[in-house]
Structure 1
Amino acid sequence: MAVRGIGAKPLSERGKIEVRTVKPWEEPGLTRAGRVIAFLEDLPITAGSLAGTTMKIRPWQRAFLEEVYAEDETGRRPVRTAVLSMGRKNGKTQLAAGLALCHLMGPEAEPRGEVYSAALTRDQAAKLFQEMTAILQAHPELDDRANVIRHSKQVEVLFGDGAGSIYAALSADAGSKMGLSPSFVVYDELGSAPNRDLFDALDTATGARDNPLMMCISTQAAADHHVFSELIDYGLKVQAGDVDDPSFHLTLYAAPADADPWEAETWEAANPALGDFRSLDDVTRQAAQARLVPSKESAFRNLILNQRVAAVSRFIHKVEWEKCSAAPDLAALRGRTCFGGLDLSAGRDLTAFVLVFPGEGRMFDVVPKFYFPEAAVKERSEEDRVPYDLWARQGFITLIPGATIDPGFVAHELAEAASLYDLQKLAYDRWRIEDLRRELSLLGAGLPLEPFGQGFRDMAPAVDLLERCVAEGLLRHGGNPVLKMCATNAVVTRDPAGNRKLDKSKANGRIDGLVALAMALAVSGRQEEEPLPACLAQFLDDG
């Protein structure tokens, strides 16, 4: 076969161009990182104001590459996972394309290697592929050895370093990635991925290689439970010395949470290329708009300042919530007085049961439990872009057999909790409560159930108490990730009198756990009062 791929040069014409005897990355005395940098600086820039010149690795890029490609005493690269996070438009696409070529046919290439670039969509995956092919077309020596297959977004190495290797562009919206054996993966904008499936498939597939590398280059995700947020948090623990893991490296450029977002010094913290190939005028323009238009501030903080900021304003401040992450002593809580909140879900959603234990100094120990129908957890994980399935494997969610929430299973869980603790009151939303009452009756469990309206009348004091407990650090919730997700998602609405309630309809995700916590706190201190007429109580509960 003379030609491989549409537009490919005939194989008979390969290997006839004049090549350099010693390429820049083959110069003696270079370190492993030095060889990578020399290869990158030999690559042409194909677009923008610097088109026609070659890449020049900046000091901040050099520092990252020297950390990632450092060798141990055996000559191996310890780093297997490398994370680089910074604001948008700091040259990540060209760096990612250059590194993919370096592992495909440069000094990091291996025979019959498999190099992949991963992205959110096919269009985004195609962007990196197009950058790589543009570089190849402008670099005759590399292009002579490469066979570009455009319809499938692949590149084959025909001879020389990396002979028999293949590159392919993958996207999260494509089908199964099973059967791959990557030697190098660069995941572009992992912070935008809808779920962790593609990341996990590629990460676990590297096990067959001797010295693989996965590199994630992205702006931060907005949510703490996102896979990219987990990688950054892990990397910060490695940096702090809390975790000893030489296989993991993090380089993070992000503006501090308490920094003035409108100061140029703050912009520089998240944009290492600012004033170089990252336009200062463009950032100045976006900052001016975000300062005047509140709806744009969150996007500016996330995309430009690289802060972990959601797109909407939340009820609970993240820093205050995390200050309450001390873990309760579960063994010491047995037999202790407690109060509960129960938020029963619709048939295929999350059910939350939260207990609070009043302690000394106005403190509350918080013990949350969550339930999900086993048959629906995978589908809901994908729909909500939340790792319910992972949390279930970690023990933070109890899976109920079947496709819907079984009230009998929940009733058994409530009865067991009542046998372990001195449960004084269990507040509940009226949704599906009759099914639960019936199941409790069959178990002979006489629980102290107390109805709790979801309107402003009942929820306003509960919201006030919850906010005060979080702000004053009066909770010990143990950092439960499901409860943390609910706290992150929670938003409140106000009535004309200024009363607030947690609003599920306006929340961008599940808040069931926080609703249950608010109810439990409220009944722990609720004073006895004369009941209102039924019609008036119902009117107020309806908000």
Structure 2
Amino acid sequence: MGLRGPGSRRKPVIDKPRRMPWNKRGLSRAERMIVFLEFLPITKGILAGKKMKLLPAQREFVEGIYGPESEDGRRLVRLAIKSEPRGNGKTGLVAGLCLGHLLGPEAEQRGEIYSAAIDKNQAGLLYREMEAIILAVPEFDARTNCQRFHKKIEVLEGDGEGSIYEAISGDVRRGHGLAPSLWVYDELAQTKTSELLDNLMTGAGKRNESLGIVISTQAATDQHHFSVMLDDAMRGTDPTIFCQLFAAPEDCDPFSEEVWKAANPALGVFLDETEFKAQAERARRSPGFLPRFMNLRLNMRIEAESRFLAAPDWRACGADIDFSGLEGKRCYLGLDLSSTTDLTALAAYFPEGGELLAWFWKPAEQLDEAERLDHVPYKLWVRQGFIEATPGRAIDKGFVVHRLAEIAGTYAVQGVAFDRWGMKEVERIMADEGVKLPLEPWGQGWQDMAPALDATETLVLQGKLKHPKNPVLDMCVANAVAVTNPAGARKLDKSRSTARIDGLQAAAMAIGLAARTPGKKKSIYQTRGLLTVNAA
């Protein structure tokens, strides 16, 4: 006998429907939603069986969404972002908001409500919470059809008649053709692509008062699409976006109880303090767990896996560089050639002043696919001049050789460190074009890369490196993970890095070559000055 789903149960019969409190006259739009949310039962946890009670921060979030109105009386906010640590009640809040749009005060006929997440199971968490609330409220249960297998809810009658809710995941093709009146993205920071998000946002344009809500902990890097969205929202320049961020500051003490409470509005209410302290103690004992604690429990933008260079240290080396002032100065180059379709990087390091420049190439016909796979704005960077798009579907190494020739004519190139892979064609083109440079083969293993990484890290930590805040190079640094052998030597590991690291690889080779090249001794006259001999 098969299990009987909720849709096949005997529905409750409501002889005398209650007057729902959110329909009381005189309530504002935000007040109606607050009353609706606080009518809903809590279905699990230590407060199960009680009515939902919004925390001050949750009430502020609801008021921030439904309070502001445009000149024509419609809701002004079209995108709401709530970023906070895990365990602060986001599932119950979002479930209530979805129900409010499905069958409550924000319901409309034939509305479409979607919850999205990285996979179907994650998206289904919200469905299960909504279903549990519906089953606990007879008036809701009587007029809905819950389809557990499909994670879908239909409104059969009453407010929102004909509306549907559905949990969807990262299948981007499913995201096409939707016209959401409300969409919710759960833990956007965990996704690798923004395609489903983009489809939901563009589909929302088919409704007069569409609303999108993102609730997520922070992503690990500045380059992640959620970080870009969050940073834009926090600037406050778009009145149609409301953003609420709870996060510990970058320079905080992660073991301070004051920091915990400031970042976690539910701590001590329904976020268990004993469990929280236990996780903090584990983070104190285990350095490997500390980044995860800081990201998930304090909502800090930090890698759960340690990167080769910490973001604050790298950002501190950003500088305004006088490019013309470097003409004729000594420099060392590092060249990281890609395969036919990947990112090719060239870096120049100037040891006298510590400046680091970088150039990048990408095949023009691969930009769309590369953006989809790497989740970074390659086309924007091309327009901004940070990447040179070469014609066709594969890297034209002739472009790289021409740039090498230009650099050789502008700066005093002392050497070019290169990965042997793919250099045969470059050397042939150089010979054909008459480009002569001191080439230095550079292995990618422990022997060559370990001292190069040490030299790079030392410059960064001592604040002696100056980079022009090139976003492509910044991306490569943010992605790079170093692995260590038993002897303590390090090298960059592309398999463990999150995405492209070619720019940092090229930079490390350039800096490593400069570090192992004997410095040119200064003349005694430069250090001592001239002696004047008076004739007797």
TM-score by length of 1: 0.84
**Paired residue secondary structure (2:242):** strand
1:146 maps to 144
**Paired residue secondary structure (1:41):** helix
Which residue identity does 2:397 align to in structure 1?
Answer: P
Query: Shift in Å at residue 82 of structure 1?
Result: 1.3
Which residue identity does 1:269 align to in structure 2?
Answer: A
Q: Answer with 434-443 or 411-420: which moved more.
A: 411-420
- Alpha carbons of 1:393 and 1:125: their partners in 2 closer, same or farther (altered >3 Å)? farther
Asked whether 1:479 is paired with 2:494, we answer: no
Given the alignment, which residue of 61, 68, 72 partners 1:71?
A: 68
* Aligned 8 A contact 2:14 2:138 in 1: no
1:350 maps to 343
Which residue identity does 2:39 align to in structure 1?
Answer: D
Given the alignment, which residue of 249, 257, 262 partners 2:250?
A: 257
Given the alignment, which residue of 282, 293, 303 partners 1:300?
A: 293
Identity %, equivalent residues: 48
1:446 maps to 436
Query: Shift in Å at residue 379 of structure 1?
Result: 5.7
Query: Shift in Å at residue 256 of structure 1?
Result: 2.1
Quick one: distance in 2 between partners of 1:368 and 1:271?
Answer: 41
Quick one: distance in 1 between partners of 2:443 and 2:457?
Answer: 19
1:511 maps to 501
Query: Shift in Å at residue 401 of structure 1?
Result: 4.7
- Alpha carbons of 1:499 and 1:153: their partners in 2 closer, same or farther (altered >3 Å)? closer
- Alpha carbons of 1:149 and 1:344: their partners in 2 closer, same or farther (altered >3 Å)? same
Asked whether 1:367 is paired with 2:357, we answer: yes
Query: Residue deviations 1:20-71, cap 9 Å, x none?
Result: 34x2222233222211111101111122232222111111211122222222
Asked whether 1:32 is paired with 2:24, we answer: no
Asked whether 1:51 is paired with 2:45, we answer: no
Which residue identity does 1:149 align to in structure 2?
Answer: Q
Number of equivalent positions: 515
Which residue identity does 2:286 align to in structure 1?
Answer: V
Query: Shift in Å at residue 105 of structure 1?
Result: 1.9
**Paired residue secondary structure (2:416):** strand
Q: Answer with 127-136 or 477-486: which moved more.
A: 477-486
* Aligned 8 A contact 1:122 1:173 in 2: no
1:60 maps to 57
Asked whether 1:268 is paired with 2:261, we answer: yes
1:539 maps to none
Quick one: distance in 1 between partners of 2:385 and 2:79?
Answer: 26
Quick one: distance in 1 between partners of 2:510 and 2:156?
Answer: 67
1:114 maps to 112
- After superposition, residues 57-206 of structure 1 pair within 5 angstroms as 57-72=54-69, 74=71, 75-173=73-171, 175-206=173-204
Quick one: distance in 2 between partners of 1:52 and 1:499?
Answer: 57
1:215 maps to 213
- Alpha carbons of 1:166 and 1:330: their partners in 2 closer, same or farther (altered >3 Å)? farther
**Paired residue secondary structure (2:39):** coil
Which residue identity does 1:181 align to in structure 2?
Answer: A
Which residue identity does 2:122 align to in structure 1?
Answer: Q
Quick one: distance in 2 between partners of 1:513 and 1:254?
Answer: 30
**Paired residue secondary structure (1:198):** helix
Quick one: distance in 1 between partners of 2:385 and 2:167?
Answer: 35
**Paired residue secondary structure (1:204):** helix
- After superposition, residues 277-356 of structure 1 pair within 5 angstroms as 277-328=270-321, 338-356=331-349
Quick one: distance in 2 between partners of 1:258 and 1:380?
Answer: 35
Quick one: distance in 2 between partners of 1:103 and 1:504?
Answer: 45
- Alpha carbons of 1:277 and 1:494: their partners in 2 closer, same or farther (altered >3 Å)? closer
- Alpha carbons of 1:499 and 1:41: their partners in 2 closer, same or farther (altered >3 Å)? closer
* Aligned 8 A contact 2:225 2:375 in 1: no
Which residue identity does 1:261 align to in structure 2?
Answer: P
- Alpha carbons of 1:43 and 1:194: their partners in 2 closer, same or farther (altered >3 Å)? same
Which residue identity does 1:296 align to in structure 2?
Answer: F
1:463 maps to 453
- Alpha carbons of 1:159 and 1:329: their partners in 2 closer, same or farther (altered >3 Å)? farther
Asked whether 1:41 is paired with 2:38, we answer: yes
Asked whether 1:414 is paired with 2:407, we answer: no
Query: Shift in Å at residue 327 of structure 1?
Result: 4.5
* Aligned 8 A contact 1:343 1:429 in 2: yes
Quick one: distance in 2 between partners of 1:80 and 1:73?
Answer: 11
* Aligned 8 A contact 1:191 1:218 in 2: yes
Query: Shift in Å at residue 229 of structure 1?
Result: 1.7
- Alpha carbons of 1:142 and 1:353: their partners in 2 closer, same or farther (altered >3 Å)? same
* Aligned 8 A contact 1:86 1:218 in 2: yes
Query: Residue deviations 1:214-260, cap 9 Å, x none?
Result: 1111112223221122222223333xxxxx22122221112223222
- Alpha carbons of 1:100 and 1:395: their partners in 2 closer, same or farther (altered >3 Å)? farther
Quick one: distance in 2 between partners of 1:139 and 1:170?
Answer: 25
Query: Shift in Å at residue 279 of structure 1?
Result: 1.0
Asked whether 1:7 is paired with 2:2, we answer: no
Quick one: distance in 2 between partners of 1:180 and 1:51?
Answer: 35
Q: Answer with 124-133 or 108-117: which moved more.
A: 108-117
- Alpha carbons of 1:508 and 1:112: their partners in 2 closer, same or farther (altered >3 Å)? closer
- Alpha carbons of 1:391 and 1:44: their partners in 2 closer, same or farther (altered >3 Å)? farther
Quick one: distance in 1 between partners of 2:156 and 2:368?
Answer: 42
Q: Answer with 43-52 or 415-424: which moved more.
A: 415-424
Quick one: distance in 2 between partners of 1:522 and 1:321?
Answer: 18
Query: Shift in Å at residue 410 of structure 1?
Result: 2.8
Which residue identity does 2:218 align to in structure 1?
Answer: Q
Query: Residue deviations 1:337-391, cap 9 Å, x none?
Result: 65432111234432211234567xx351x43222334566666666666665775
* Aligned 8 A contact 1:72 1:78 in 2: yes
* Aligned 8 A contact 1:32 1:71 in 2: no
Q: Answer with 332-341 or 62-71: which moved more.
A: 332-341
Quick one: distance in 2 between partners of 1:174 and 1:491?
Answer: 29
Query: Shift in Å at residue 463 of structure 1?
Result: 3.0
- Alpha carbons of 1:505 and 1:381: their partners in 2 closer, same or farther (altered >3 Å)? same
